[in-house]
Amino acid sequence: MTVAHILGFPRIGSRRELKTALEAHWSGKLDEAGLQCVGQDLRARHWQLQRAAGLEFVTVGDFAWYDHLHTVTALFSAAPARFGLGGRVDLAGYFAMARGTAEQPALAMKKWFDTNYHYLVPEIGPYTRFTLNRDWLLLDVREALALGHRVKVVLPGPLTWLWLAASEPDFDKLKLLSLLLNGYFVLLAELKALGVHWLQVDEPILALDLPPDWLAALPVVYRELASAGPAILLATYFGSVAQHAALLKQLPIAGLHLDLARAPQQLDAFLADWPQDKIMSLGVIDGRNLWRTNLALALAKLSKAKAILGDRLWVSASCSLLHVPTDLAREHKLDPTLKSWMAFATQKLDEVALLKRALDDGEDAIGDALQASTAAAQTRRLATTTLRPEIRARVAALSEADARRGAPFVARIVQQQAVLNLPPLPTTTIGSFPQTAEIRAARAAFKAGKLGEQDYRQAMQAEIRYAVEQQETLGLDVLVHGEAERNDMVEYFGEQLDGYCFTENGWVQSYGSRCVKPPVIYGDVARPRAMTVEWARYAQSLTTKPMKGMLSGPITMLFWSFVRDDLPRREVALQLALALRDEVCDLEAAGIKVIQIDEPAIREGLPLKKADWPAYLDWAVRAFRVCASGVRDDTQIHTHMCYSEFNDILPSIAAMDADVITIETSRSRMKLLDAFAEFRYPNDIGPGLYDIHSPRVPSAGEMKTLLDRALSVVPAERLWVNPDCGLKTRAWPETEAALRLMVSTARQARASLG
């Protein structure tokens, strides 16, 4: 019999019940007992879904109050001393670390591999000790057992936890391994005593490039864990682990899970001489995307494995379903055809179970479902909305020249300066101004049909007028319209592009109680009409200063959406680039002389393995260039990126060839600029002069120090002055105060330049 299981289920709830309860608890409106009830109910419901679908096991341990990696930190009492929590971590301590306290900033947050989920970074050092705080896992296990479920427990692996932890740079984190293993060992023995037969240990770091000492630790860890009790299913995902095939085959584990959605080709490296005593779990259903599985294709893949593995074959989704929305049944407004192409977490449970049945009882056993799946795949393949020949032809016809500006930067900047006539150290902002309650209310009323189009336009124009007046008063040099009409930088454009659709309840957890609802790219992307031109034209009409047009770039549009899986991403990126290129050209034609194309997500797209970086960077940079290169040489293109790790991708940033790049540098105190200087980054740079993440207004001295520092590494004639990022999360008073200071700091520096 084939075993059907999943690696994990979304914990937030189909109605975001966990979010609501957490936020009520944090604001003092729900006590801990009330919160516990909500958690218990969600777990019970999600287990029941798995059981009802016909899975062999329910997966226990995937629930977390904030983040699953953070739960391991609590499980082994590895709280950093600065929180003063003493030995055991209780729920209040858990949240204190996750959210910060009056005295202590929260643990840092980082993206979980190449997903948009964020984990809390453990802080460790030579002083770190581990004490098993078993309740953090065992209570859930007991709860599931008491409900009569067959349980498979999931736990992030010790190597992954250590690898993702932060420490002083010279500290060898592996020094803590044996102490940590002691904790795992005791825990595993207790799981066994509870009657848990299977333990899924997640080691996603195996898909990364790992140094030899970490690989050498792998057999040590799994020999130890295997001796503790339950049978271990080692789960890998997000990429191929074929490079470790020999090593993995020798581990004393009971089974291995492979992600065949991301890395189907890795199967061959394992199948041939897979040890007789081990099972293999194949993740053929995409756990990262919301498309319905083509069951016939999945079965073809699995049958080959079944012939070799027989009953040692397990079927699953590629990774935890944490990364997809919970239930498609909650979508009532989605076009029925589009809906028939999708499967959210709940539907993916059925898909896993169907595959199992087909493998065990033959395809006829799932005849109707198979037929429906094939029919959906067929309508998708033949749909005229997904394949538009004129768009394919336009992408195919793109030439080298389409991805190149007319003149090189040195010549362009002279022409641009002749048009713009800017002072040295020009001042600007990144695009958005405070999104006040009134703005949000007006947008919501318009969306709900309670505010007419005319009234809405007038309300937004009033906001633009206000933003322009403020900027004029402050004395900024290049103005922005303030983005009042935008809810979100991707959704705003997606709503106006063909090929995009939107869900009502397609929420996925981003971090803690925060969820995002990414738009869905299902078909060829096209721009039926101009998207931002009217707002930009209006804003420019209010001032003689240059007004920046403001767009989200193709790579950011791609990575912050659920992307179709029937076309390579590079191709989708070029479609987006062409749609945006038309917008760039229309802005230019409307008299806009400076156009900013935001690309905060370029770095997020970096593949997990370095060897795959060049190919990705190549198409990402090309997409940006296609988007930016349709304009005259005297039109100035800006880009903006808000993170602070550039060193390893600077050649690609330079290859984007934006005339001006604005970046986040204030928190690193301009340290990041050294890399730009060392690399001799050729074009203009606007390093952020102040942090926009807090309402705090920096002192004049702080700003001057940062600007002086920037001036010492970047030639004055190439330097711009701006905040780190957009100001939409700020209020007006601090925005005005900080910008006033920024402008006066720039003016003083200008004066001393002579």
Positions 629 through 668 that interact with Zn ion (CB under 5 A): 642
Q: Which two tokens stand for residue 517?
A: 């609802």
Could you tell which of ligand GLN, Zn ion, none binds residue 202, using a CB distance below 5 to 8 A set by kind? Answer: none
Which residues are tagged catalytic?
A: 693
Per CB under 5 A, does 551 bind Zn ion?
no
Name the residue nearer to ligand GLN (CB basis): 431 or 494: 431
Least separation in angstroms between CB 503 and ligand GLN: 22
Kindly state the DSSP code that residue 11 receives in the 8-state scheme: S
Assign residue 285 a region (left: φ > 0; alpha: ψ between -120 and 50; beta: otherwise): beta
| Least distance to Zn ion, CB of residue 603, Å | 12
State the Cα–Cα distance between residues 78 and 699, nearest whole angstrom: 37
* 583, interface contact from Zn ion, ligand GLN, none, CB < 5-8 Å by kind: none
Choosing from 263, 725, 741, 742, the residue that interacts with Zn ion (CB under 5 A) is 725
C-beta of 71 vs 432, nearer to ligand GLN: 432
First to last CA, the chain: 82
| CB of 706 or CB of 725, closer to Zn ion | 725
Closest separation between CB of residue 642 and Zn ion, Å? Answer: 3
Nearer to ligand GLN, 315 or 653 (CB): 653
Choose among Zn ion, ligand GLN, none what residue 728 binds, the Cβ cut-off being 5 to 8 Å by kind: ligand GLN
Closest CA to 548 of 691, 418, 659, 695: 659
CB under 5 to 8 A by kind: which of ligand GLN, Zn ion, none does 550 bind? ligand GLN
Interaction pattern, residues 672-711, with Zn ion; x per rule: CB under 5 A: ----------------------------------------
* Host H or E run for residue 556: helix 554-559
Please identify, among the stretches 53-61, 86-94, 617-625, 719-727, the one whose residues bind Zn ion according to the rule CB under 5 A.
719-727
Identify whether the C-beta of residue 127 lies closer than 8 Å to the C-beta of residue 81. Answer: yes
- Neighbouring C-beta atoms of residue 28, cutoff 10 Å: 7
Least separation, in Å, of the C-beta of 172 and ligand GLN? 36
Under 8 Å CB-to-CB from 89, ≥6 apart: which residues? Answer: 73, 74, 77, 79, 97, 133, 136
Write out the DSSP string of 474-492: HT-SBB--B-TT-S-TTHH
The vertex-243 CA angle with 237 and 245, nearest 5°, equals 80
Which two tokens mark 604?
Answer: 């997020």
Residue 672 Cβ vs ligand GLN, minimum distance, rounded to whole Å: 16
Task: Return the number of the residue (143 or 485) whose C-beta is nearest ligand GLN.
Answer: 485
Binding residues vs ligand GLN (CB under 6 A)? 430-432, 483, 489, 550, 598, 600, 640, 642, 725-726, 728
If you ran DSSP here, which 8-state letter would residue 532 be given?
A: S
DSSP 123: B
Q: What is the DSSP string of 491-553?
A: HHHHTTSEEEE--SS--EEEETTEEE---EEEEEEE-SS-SSHHHHHHHHHT-SS-BEEEEE-
Least distance in angstroms from the C-beta of 596 to Zn ion: 11
Token pair, residue 33, equals 């007992």
- Residue placing its CB nearer to Zn ion in the complex, 253 or 642: 642
Residue 404's contacts (CB-CB under 8 Å, 6 or more residues apart) are 625, 629
* CA dihedral of 246, 248, 249, 251, whole degrees rounded to 10: 130
Greatest Cα pair distance, the chain, in angstroms, is 84
Q: Which is nearer to ligand GLN, 431 or 630 (by Cβ)?
A: 431
- Give the separation between CA 567 and CA 522, rounded to whole angstroms: 10
Q: Which residue is nearest to ligand GLN (CB)?
A: 726
- Kindly state the smallest distance separating residue 639's Cβ from ligand GLN, in Å: 10
Q: Which two tokens stand for residue 460?
A: 């937004």
What is the rounded distance in angstroms from the CA atom of residue 127 to the CA atom of residue 228? 26
Q: How many residues bind Zn ion (CB under 5 A)?
A: 2
Tokens encoding 641: 């990126």
CB 700 to ligand GLN: min, Å: 24
Q: Is the Cβ of residue 79 or residue 642 nearer to Zn ion in the bound state?
A: 642
When CB distances are held under 5 to 8 angstroms depending on the partner's kind, the choice from ligand GLN, Zn ion, none that residue 46 binds is none
Q: Measured from the CB atom, is 217 or 642 closer to Zn ion?
A: 642
Residue position matching structure tokens 């641009």: 416
State both tokens at 440: 């949000």
Alpha helices (H) along 7-106: 17-26, 32-53, 68-75, 91-99
Q: Would you count residue 439 as binding Zn ion (CB under 5 A)? A: no
Question: What Cα–Cα distance (Å) separates residue 110 from each residue in 19, 78, 297?
Answer: 20, 18, 35
We find the least distance from the C-beta atom of residue 643 to ligand GLN, in angstroms, to be 9
Residue placing its CB nearer to Zn ion in the complex, 353 or 557: 557
Per-residue tokens: 228: 């503790």
Q: How far is the CB of 48 from ligand GLN (least distance, A)?
A: 39
Which residues of 594-649 form beta strands (DSSP E)?
Answer: 594-598, 636-641
Residue 310, burial from CB neighbour count under 10 angstroms (0-12, 13-18, 19+): exposed
Cα 403 to Cα 418: distance, rounded to the nearest angstrom? 24
Q: Taking CB within 5 to 8 Å according to partner kind, which of Zn ion, ligand GLN, none is near residue 431?
A: ligand GLN
- Which of ligand GLN, Zn ion, none does 635 bind, CB closer than 5 to 8 A by kind? none
**What kind and span of H or E run contains 562?**
strand 562-563
Residue 599 binds which entry of Zn ion, ligand GLN, none, with Cβ cut-offs from 5 to 8 Å by kind? none
**Which residues would be at the binding site for Zn ion (CB under 5 A)?**
642, 725
